[in-house]
Structure 1
């Protein structure tokens, strides 16, 4: 027993051995080690991970999700995924037996975490495993779930095509965001028409190739910005020829300029 008379918290490593959660909603504070979780795996329950510091990356068959501070990612039950992050990433994770009714049962999503939701997650993550579902702790859980389902979804997902030729192109561009390779170049290399590849790309990702590459470049900028790198250096590394073009595109995608993102990063690091 803990000093306050509650059963001890479960260790994160023990989760994989559970057949079911001790409560329909369970949470804990977790700091990830400096390794890449490169293996694909699933959970029998849903997982919501909130990045306090560092940028969390979640890879699924259909897309790539980037989760900077002040955001959280929802991973539904039984969805194959792998996770990677810097060694100093700090998370607060919640595990839910049931998928909220208004969320797709198979779709990951990134949501914004406002100050109220941040404090609810922080408080809940410090509760004992066997909290009183019918008391004050249970009421806190219900408020937390209400806030989660109404949190705005963020466009921090990069859809990935399934076609081998298109997936190879996307892998190439993700590895080198500043590469100039275009759809026309790839069509010539693969002996097909650019129009054919363009139609296929739109059908499989829901985005034109131009919009996909812009989103890919902007998402690739987030980890570097979170590390505190100079905005000018980040813009060049992501394939932008001018700082002003990068700032304008960043603002259209994320609703704030890179400088405001960096300030949010500092606020997140200073939050309890």
Structure 2
């Protein structure tokens, strides 16, 4: 991938969060919240995957519109939009996997194709998919659509490995979490020990944190018979939301800069 910086001379920072340890902790918590929150709306409230997707899609578009209109980086708005992508990603993945009836492998393939198309179009138009280049409204929309498909793919991957129905691998939530946690450890080793593209490693890590959060979320709210703790989806979501807010407040938040590694 081309990591060429395309910021205008007068722009020192992008309107997205810098990639730090605090970023990844908040990201995993937000993805777990997306799983429990999405399931609460579609399953606990019995609204279904299509209605749930419509609700979260409207919230997603509204928040991205606010992001694009903002003059600078706002941590609360940024993380609210991240949470919106995780909840919408959950309902979209469930809609493909279950309502459309293509199963977990089919849903994963469809969403992976959408993510690849988004990255290809972004790179074709902007010349880079680096987060350092997000300094125009068009680049911001590319960023957020790609984030959405990344979250959706992560959900599908988590369901595919953990589930024992719809073509799932049946590995369970604990084993799936260990697998994705191990994959993230490999990416971290590549980040610190090699000169591989930081942009490629960032997007790989971004995708893989989502199935880790998805399996953790399922572990919290699924029934004992399904291998979960059977906690209330609503209360689990509230607890996770509080944790995400604490992450945003306690961890230093700043916009990505031209001299950042990612």
TM class, shorter-length: under 0.3
Structure ranking higher on relative contact order (CA contacts 8 Å, 6+ apart): 2
Higher strand share: 1
Q: TM-score, normalised by structure 1?
A: 0.25
Q: TM-score, normalised by structure 2?
A: 0.26
Higher helix share: 2
Compare CA radii of gyration and give the structure with the larger one.
Answer: 1
